[in-house]
Amino acid sequence: MAADRGAFIDQSQSLNIHIAEPTMNKLSSMHFYAWKKGLKTGMYYLRTRPAADPIKFTVDKSRIPAPIKADDAVEKPTAAQEETPKTEEQNLARRMKQCNMTDENGACLM
């Protein structure tokens, strides 16, 4: 399958393979079979041991934050959040107080 795709892929297609119990005969046979099929980088990817688990050596476990408890995840409302206007007129009046021409965010223009 990898060799069949090689003609359609720039710089050919390579095959990453693991041989559980390698012998010189098995390695040579696999390499030359791949080469005859058109795989150009077969020797680069020929492995005699399985690839290492990258997570084990790339993650610094001391930098992983502690899990958040469900009680800690809920934010308690601040005083400003508790003062929500009761009516639409109060909401509009509060927004008009905040709106001025020096508002950099342009909230009063929208």
Query: pLDDT (tens digit, 9 = 90+) per residue, 33-87?
Result: 878 877 766 566 566 666 666 556 666 778 888 877 766 656 665 655 556 667 8
Phi, psi of 17 (to 5 degrees): -135, 145
Report helix, strand or coil for 76.
Answer: coil
Residue 102 lies in a domain: no
Question: Residue 18 and residue 1: Cα distance in Å, rounded?
Answer: 16
Number of domains in the chain: 1
CB atoms within 10 A of CB 46: 18
CA distance 84 to 78: 11
What range defines the domain where residue 28 resides?
2-52
Sign for the CA dihedral angle at 66, 71, 73, 79 comes to negative
Establish if 103 belongs to a structural domain: no
Domain for residue 39, yes or no? yes
- Model pTM? 0.33
Continuous H helices in the chain: 2-5, 24-37, 54-58, 70-73, 79-82, 88-98
Determine the average pLDDT of the residues in 12-29. Answer: 76
